[in-house]
Structure 1
Amino acid sequence: MAEQSEDNEKTEDPTQKRLDEALERGDVAKSQEVSTWFVLAGATLMLLTFGNQMASGLKTTLGGLISNAHRIPTDGTALILLSGRIGKEVIAAVAIPILLVALFAIGGNMIQHRLVWSTQSLTPKLSKISPAAGFKRLFSKIALVNFAKGIAKIAILGTVMTMLLWPERTRLEGLVTLDVAAILPFTAVFALKMLGFVVIIMAFIAGADYFFQYRQWYEKQKMSLQEIKEEFKQTDGDPQIKARIRRIRESRMRKRMMAAVPEASVVVMNPTHYAVALKYERGDNAPLCVAKGLDNIALKIREVAEAHGVPVVENPPLARALHATVDVDQEIPAEHYRAVAEVIGYVMRLRRRLN
């Protein structure tokens, strides 16, 4: 029982197959803080790059609208045309920056994991509408960590904003006495300064949160020893079945070799451990190995050879060398030509003498 319990504990690192399956389900390591940082960074960059251009475009459109408000017809079709014109001009002024910010938002997701198309997360599940499951998620460890993380983020950003605003408190109080045209430049510079500090702080928060989210996701993907065994069976096959297939193949090969031994010209042996059956006919490039084996198989080859009158020559060094360098149905290597030729020559002379 204790061993079975250990097998079911998720203590092993996930396999690549397990990680790929999680990705297919849409289960990926994702930090919302990273996405938020990309949006903030993109918005700050767009304000620095296109801020004056957007302000100029909106100023022209809205300034003309306000200064000529008394002469603009707003009845019936004219109001619809006016609304459409204003909408087009506003969209033209902010379209490129908004599009680029949207690309930053997409990049914030893609940098965390490769593109995923999965509908499994949209599949209806009773656990998503179960009050008990919802209550459990609300007070889970992850929920408490996210709550603490939100409080910490607010505290850090609040502290930094206070440190930025406090030295400027006198100037901020004096803004109420200034003209709007004088307030706007100061407000724009100060807002960009605050955004810059927020982006820097959020970069550290996003990095720490991504590391935390990745570790949580990775721990969730860990496997038990039993799961690894099951996956191995699915991918590489059941070891018992593979062993049985290997035994069947070896059995068939032995039968095929034994059937070829009676056609051999000679069997070279190391009395009890090695046996190599060679076949040679005039016109062949080199002798062919038709059977080989160790121990019991070697003795069986010798037995079959003697039963069918195939000469058996004991030459331990040559038998070991041939067994190590040549496979069944292959010609012997060139370095053994001379030694094998002597053996076959001896067999042929012996046959001529007997005849």
Structure 2
Amino acid sequence: MAEDEDKDSKTEEPTEKKKQDAVEKGQTAFSKELPVLFTLTAITAIIGFAASGLTANLKSQLEILLDRAGQYSLSTTADTLLVMTRYFEVTMVILAPVMLALAFAGLAGSLAQNPPRMVLKRIQPEFSRVSPKKGFERMFGSKGWAEFFKVLAKIVFTGACVAIFAGNIMPVLAEGPMTSSEVFLTQIGRILFGLLFTMVLAMTLIAVADLLWTNREWLKDLRMSHKEIRDELKQAEGDPLMKARMQSVARERSRKRMMGSVPNATLVLTNPTHYAIALRYNPPTDRAPVVVAKGTDLIAQRIKDIAIEHDVTVHENPPLTRAMYKQVSVDQVIPPEFFEAVAEIIVYLNKKRV
């Protein structure tokens, strides 16, 4: 029940990350009909364009062996095996390229859908595979019915093609004894090629439909719930609570570092109650006054308290402090438009100390 509810909640299309994770786990959309189509196409091409050459080559090689038949001894089992091995070698030399071409076609049909990928998890045993309930769902679920109709379509069409082939080939077989072997084989080849070509066209339709179906089912299996999408977004951008906590810690550390710089300040400008800016000016190290701390309200009061504790001059100048606060940053030189005003204050305070 809970599993059905979980499936019902997955109404959203999968994200790109979800798809990529599935591919990395070996969970990809795969049509079993596409490799069959590639192999059948290769067989049709071989029969249509290379069968006559292969047949002629095989015929010539076997004729050579038959002409030398009298040279072979069959008195022992070893001699018989030697002759059979020789015939087998001649046959395989000619047919091996055909077999390799068919194997390559089937492999190409698989690689055309997904690149090869080593996924060890796919070969690990899964107990759900032997679960009667899971097996029943696979057999009578949507995927099971889709497989059934595919097989049924192939059986019906193949049966129709065989019936048509048999109807076309019977007259040729009946006239076979009265025609030459070359004409007979040519007619058989033409009929067989037409049959295979028709099967390739039908198999193309089946493979395309199956490819679309498997991709649709793959995306359906990867559907996500709203909660999964939110969780993935949190993982991608960071948990908002954790992110806020980290920002809070960073601000606290920055504040402590800033307060630690106040004792080294030359001057603290105040509003006097709402703003405070601590400036350091130690020529020739500083080419101009540098802001070492700034703050409002409680932080401003804390800056003033630290300045008083360490005998740093606190000077009230509300207009200058308010104007400067909006434009200055900590650990930065004050803007040039404030050079003259701050310089006058520093000169005045120095004279006052003297």
TM norm structure 1: 0.80
Structure 2 residue runs of 5 or longer lacking an equivalent are: none
Cα shift at 1:38: 1.7
Rounded Cα–Cα distance in structure 2 between residues aligned with 1:203 and 1:301: 80
Residues 266 and 344 in structure 1, CA contact (< 8 A), matched pair in contact too: no
Rounded Cα–Cα distance in structure 2 between residues aligned with 1:66 and 1:253: 96
Which residue among 287, 291, 295 is the counterpart of 1:289?
Answer: 291
The 5-angstrom pairing of residues 335-346 of structure 1 reads 336-337=335-336, 339-346=337-344
- 1:223 alignment partner, SS class: coil
Rounded Cα–Cα distance in structure 2 between residues aligned with 1:270 and 1:50: 97
Q: Does residue 319 of structure 1 match 2:325?
A: yes
- 2:192 alignment partner, SS class: helix
Seen in structure 2, the aligned counterparts of structure 1 residues 83 and 298 have a Cα distance that, compared at 3 Å, is farther
- What's the counterpart of residue 30 of structure 1? 30
Rounded Cα–Cα distance in structure 2 between residues aligned with 1:107 and 1:276: 72
Cα shift at 1:282: 0.8
The 5-angstrom pairing of residues 142-181 of structure 1 reads 142-155=143-156, 169=168, 172-178=170-176, 179=179, 180-181=181-182
- What's the counterpart of residue 136 of structure 1? 137
User: Equivalent pairs: percent with the same residue?
Assistant: 30
Structure 1 residue runs of 5 or longer lacking an equivalent are: none
Q: Deviations over 1:18-71 (max 9, x none)?
A: 333322332211001112112222333344453333222321233344565565
Which of structure 1's runs of 4+ aligned residues deviate more than 6 A? 5-8, 269-274
Q: Deviations over 1:168-219 (max 9, x none)?
A: 84x7514422244322112222322332333233223222211110111111
- What's the counterpart of residue 73 of structure 2? 73
Cα shift at 1:267: 4.7
Rounded Cα–Cα distance in structure 1 between residues aligned with 2:8 and 2:292: 50
Cα shift at 1:289: 3.0
> Which AA in structure 1 matches 2:327?
A
- 2:125 alignment partner, SS class: coil
The 5-angstrom pairing of residues 260-299 of structure 1 reads 260-267=261-268, 276-283=277-284, 284-293=286-295, 297-298=299-300
- 1:321 alignment partner, SS class: coil
- What's the counterpart of residue 258 of structure 1? 259
> Which AA in structure 2 matches 1:177?
E
Aligned length: 340
Seen in structure 2, the aligned counterparts of structure 1 residues 89 and 7 have a Cα distance that, compared at 3 Å, is closer
Seen in structure 2, the aligned counterparts of structure 1 residues 354 and 213 have a Cα distance that, compared at 3 Å, is same
Seen in structure 2, the aligned counterparts of structure 1 residues 128 and 82 have a Cα distance that, compared at 3 Å, is same
- 1:203 alignment partner, SS class: helix
Seen in structure 2, the aligned counterparts of structure 1 residues 271 and 107 have a Cα distance that, compared at 3 Å, is farther
Cα shift at 1:269: 6.6
Residues 264 and 310 in structure 1, CA contact (< 8 A), matched pair in contact too: no
- What's the counterpart of residue 217 of structure 1? 218
